[in-house]
Amino acid sequence: MVLLNSDICIAPWNMLRIENNGNCYICTSSFHKISLGNIFEKSFDEIWNGDVIRKIRKNILFKSDYSYCKTELCLKFGEKAVETYGFKFPDNSEEYTNNYPKLVYFAFDSSCNQKCIFCRDKISMMSKDEVEKWNCIFEEKILPIIKYVRIVELNHAGEFMDGMFSKNIIKRMLEVNADIEFNLITNGVSFNEENIKRLGIENKINTIHVSLHSATKQTYKKIFRQDNFGKVIENLGYIKKLKENNKIRNFEIMFVICSLNYKDMPLFIKLAKKISARPSFSLINYNANAKYASNEIEYNITSPLHRNYNDFIRIIKRDIFKEYINNMPPYLLTLDYIGKKQVICNYINYFKREIYR
C-alpha cells in the first residue's frame, strides 16, 4: 500500500460528498470504499455522525488505518484542504463531531452538454422525475445544514452550467447563507463572464477546477468528441483575470491521464503556467459509465501491460514534472521514485485487481 505523506487525513471531520444515487462518502466513491449511508434513507445527522463514519474516524485516529481508502488513487483531499482552506484537525480528536462538514461536494446533477470519453457516451440532462426527487431531498435534508457550510463544491456528476437543477440550488443556497463560497468544476465551455455574472456568483467563488485533459486542439477533440477547444481557451482567459484580480483563490486545470492524451502532459504544464493555474493529474475511473473508460486494456497507459507504457514513463520522468510531483496521483509517484521493485509490486497488484474484480 502506498502511504500518504500526511500523518492524518482530516477529510472525515470536514468533508462530505453526496452522489446521485443518494450514497454519501467522505471524499469520493472513486477514492473511498465505504458509503456512509444513503440520503434518501437516513437523516443528515445519521450519515454525518453514524456508525460507519465514526468507525472510519476511529480507525484513522487510533490506528492510522486507511484501509477504507484507495490510497493509490487518493489525491490527498484532506491534506490539501489544510493548505488550501486552512481546515484544522479537530482539537478534541473525537470520532463524534459537533460541527457540520465545512466542505460539501454535490454529485447529483448529471446534466451535461458534453460527452467526454471518461464520463459518458451521450449528452444527457437530469430527468423531470430526478429533479423532483432531488428537490425534495435538497429542501428537506440538505438546505437546513447549508447555513453551517463554508464551501459547496459542484458539480461532480455533470456540468453545473448546463443543469437547471444546479443553477436553482445555487440560488437557494445563497438565500440561506450569503457568505457561502463555491468551488466550481466545469468543462469551461459555458464558463464566461456573462453567464457567471447572471448566476450572481462572480464574488462567491473560492476555487475553479476546469476539466481539460489536453493541451492541443487535436487531443481535446479525441477526449471531448466535440470541437470547443478555442472557446474553452478563451474562457480560461476570463478565469485567469478573476485570479489576477483576487476574485477567486484557487484555479486548477485537470488532466485525467490515458493513452490518448499522455503526450500532451508536458504541454499541459506549460499551459497551466501561462494562465497561472495549478495543473492536476489523475487516473481514469474505469467503473465510469462510458464505453471508452471501461476499456482499461486499451486506455490505461499507466499499466505496465500497455504497449506504450515505456514511452509514458519516459515522458513523466522529464524535468518539467519535478516541480509538480505533488500534483500527480500517488500511484505514479511510486513508478517514478520508488523504482523497479515497486513497479513489480504494482504489476502484481494489477493482476490481483483483475482477478478479484
Q: What is the binding site for ligand SF4 (CB under 6 A)?
A: 4, 9, 11-12, 26-27, 31-32, 66, 69, 74, 77-78
Cβ 30 to ligand SF4 shortest distance, Å: 9
The residue type at 224: F
Residue 26 near residue 53 (C-beta atoms within 8 A): yes
Cβ 342 to ligand SF4 shortest distance, Å: 19
Residue 350 near residue 305 (C-beta atoms within 8 A): yes
Nearer to ligand SF4, 66 or 165 (CB): 66
Find the largest Cα–Cα distance for the chain: 55
- Alpha-carbon distance values, 324 to 76, 91, 328, 335 (Å): 14, 32, 7, 15
Cβ 33 to ligand SF4 shortest distance, Å: 9
The partner residues of 181 in beta bridges, in order of sequence, read: 151
Residue 280 near residue 75 (C-beta atoms within 8 A): yes
- Tell me the helix, strand and coil percentages in the chain, rounded to 5: 45, 15, 40
Distance between terminal CA atoms of the chain? 18
Residue 167 near residue 160 (C-beta atoms within 8 A): yes
* Helix residue spans in the chain (DSSP H): 11-14, 44-48, 51-63, 77-85, 128-137, 143-146, 164-176, 193-199, 217-224, 229-244, 265-274, 291-294, 296-299, 309-316, 330-333, 340-356
Cβ 71 to ligand SF4 shortest distance, Å: 6
Nearer to ligand SF4, 30 or 211 (CB): 30
Cβ 47 to ligand SF4 shortest distance, Å: 15
Q: How far is CA 93 from the centre of its chain?
A: 26
Cβ 2 to ligand SF4 shortest distance, Å: 11
Say how far apart CA 260 and CA 159 lie, in whole Å.
Answer: 23
Nearer to ligand SF4, 26 or 152 (CB): 26
Nearer to ligand SF4, 9 or 205 (CB): 9
Cβ 8 to ligand SF4 shortest distance, Å: 9
Cβ 72 to ligand SF4 shortest distance, Å: 10
Say how far apart CA 311 and CA 301 lie, in whole Å.
Answer: 9
Nearer to ligand SF4, 68 or 238 (CB): 68
Nearer to ligand SF4, 80 or 222 (CB): 80
Cβ 35 to ligand SF4 shortest distance, Å: 13
Nearer to ligand SF4, 112 or 256 (CB): 256
| The dihedral sign for the CA sequence 193, 198, 203, 208 | negative
Nearer to ligand SF4, 80 or 263 (CB): 80
Nearer to ligand SF4, 31 or 321 (CB): 31
Radius of gyration of the chain (CA): 20
